[in-house]
């Protein structure tokens, strides 16, 4: 069965960087795009970014464009979200999700990122 196991969350100061990881199993990882979505405390879901199966295409929400980068290592079945210049409003639970045609059908457990001085 599909599993997405996330790691890398924690508390970080404003302006610093953090990298989240999402390790996949149970499917042919290189064949699927991978998404990142977050939910700030008390707020709704916010789509952040997607990277294509081969890593050649990426797209970002305006709120993180230029600050967050995506990468994936298909030999390790892992996708990464590198978050730079972090701000207080980046505090959220971050989810990775497996892309499907017209949806995201499997999700990681979520990892909490807290931006605090």
Partner 1 sequence: DIVMTQSPDSLAVSLGERATIKCKSSQSILYSSDNKNYLTWYQKKAGQPPKLLIYWASTREFGVSDRFSGSGSGTDFTLTISSLRAEDAAVYYCQQHYSTPFTFGPGTKLEIK
Cβ neighbours around 47 below 10 Å, total: 15
DSSP letters, 28-52, are -GGGS-EEEEEE-TT--EEEEEEE-
C-beta of 104: minimal distance to partner 1 in Å? 7
C-beta of 13: minimal distance to partner 1 in Å? 26
Nearest to 111 by CA among 15, 43, 11: 11
- Under 8 Å CB-to-CB from 115, ≥6 apart: which residues? 11, 12, 13, 14, 86, 87, 88, 89, 90, 91
Report the residue number, 16 or 112, with the smaller CB distance to partner 1.
112
Report the residue number, 23 or 61, with the smaller CB distance to partner 1.
61
Binding site for partner 1 (CB under 8 A): 35, 37, 39, 44-47, 50, 59-62, 95, 97, 100, 102-110
Report the residue number, 27 or 47, with the smaller CB distance to partner 1.
47
C-beta of 86: minimal distance to partner 1 in Å? 20
C-beta of 59: minimal distance to partner 1 in Å? 4
């Amino acid at each position: 069965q599909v599993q997405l196991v996330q790691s890398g969350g924690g508390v970080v100061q404003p302006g610093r960087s953090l990298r989240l990881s999402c390790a996949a199993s149970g499917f042919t990882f290189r064949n699927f795009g991978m998404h990142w979505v977050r939910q700030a405390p008390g707020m709704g879901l916010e789509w952040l970014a997607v990277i294509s199966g081969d890593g050649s295409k990426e797209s970002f929400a305006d709120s993180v464009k230029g600050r967050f980068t995506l990468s994936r290592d298909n030999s390790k079945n892992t996708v990464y979200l590198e978050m730079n210049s972090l701000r207080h409003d980046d505090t959220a639970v971050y989810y990775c999700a497996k892309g499907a045609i017209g949806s995201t059908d499997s999700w990681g457990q979520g990892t909490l990122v807290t931006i605090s001085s």
